[in-house]
Structure 1
């Protein structure tokens, strides 16, 4: 019974980690050209002239026109035409910073909670939770 309960908790925690690790994206600070954004084949953050931020999975060139490729809430692929005159900046996904930030945002609070709950100064030792 105890082993089954532990396995269930472990699976739940593991699934939460997997979902959370995929939810964070950090973009490079320096903007790039539309050609560079298209060549990288990574996620791109586009800032328009009216300061609207658009996120695309990639940028594609078709028949001389640039398109931002994204998925809608139903999972269908949507192509959005991009006019260079209406675009301020293109910023590419920074994979190393995204990974570091995601792990830091998730792991550090979990370590703090574990230390508080299971450390020598946890709730059982300083009068909380009695």
Structure 2
């Protein structure tokens, strides 16, 4: 019974890490202007001269002012953004984020299936394999 519970713990840890890494976002390497960011409703981050980073759901323009919009408890929170030369805006790279997520799911799935196959198939080496306690 111990090997099964140990395997379940390992699988749970792998699936937990998968959920954690799924929320990661890949951004474009080149910054865009506030005008370009406000035209599309893409997720992005703002890096200021002091190297502070703020994430926003999307950017918008209203009455000549630019705002970064954060979603908090289902409400849109509009935060004004200074249009200075030191402010850099990086938009979400949808293709790279999707590819990374698919590769991550595939890789972790293969690892989990291989670990379960190895652990349930018996003793591979005479000293046992990492999942099987002797």
Q: TM-score, normalised by structure 2?
A: 0.71
When residues 93 and 112 of structure 1 are mapped into structure 2, their CA distance, relative to the original with a 3 A threshold, is same
2:49 corresponds to which residue? 49
Shift of residue 104, structure 1, vs aligned partner: 1.9
- SS of the residue aligned with 2:84? helix
1:30 corresponds to which residue? 30
1:89 corresponds to which residue? 88
1:7 corresponds to which residue? none
Q: Which has the higher helix share?
A: 1
Distance in 2, matches of 1:76 and 1:96, equals: 27
1:125 aligns with 2:108: no
- SS of the residue aligned with 1:27? coil
Distance in 1, matches of 2:33 and 2:22, equals: 26
Unaligned runs of 5+ in 1: 1-15
Shift of residue 24, structure 1, vs aligned partner: 2.8
Q: CA RMSD in A?
A: 2.6
Matches within 5 A, 1:1-130: 20=19, 23-72=23-72, 74-85=73-84, 87-118=86-117, 122-123=118-119, 124-126=122-124, 127=128, 128-129=132-133
Distance in 1, matches of 2:81 and 2:90, equals: 14
Shift of residue 53, structure 1, vs aligned partner: 0.9
Count, aligned residues: 111
Q: TM-score, normalised by structure 1?
A: 0.73
Distance in 1, matches of 2:71 and 2:85, equals: 22
- SS of the residue aligned with 1:125? coil
Shift of residue 32, structure 1, vs aligned partner: 1.0
Shift of residue 22, structure 1, vs aligned partner: 5.9
Distance in 2, matches of 1:82 and 1:68, equals: 7
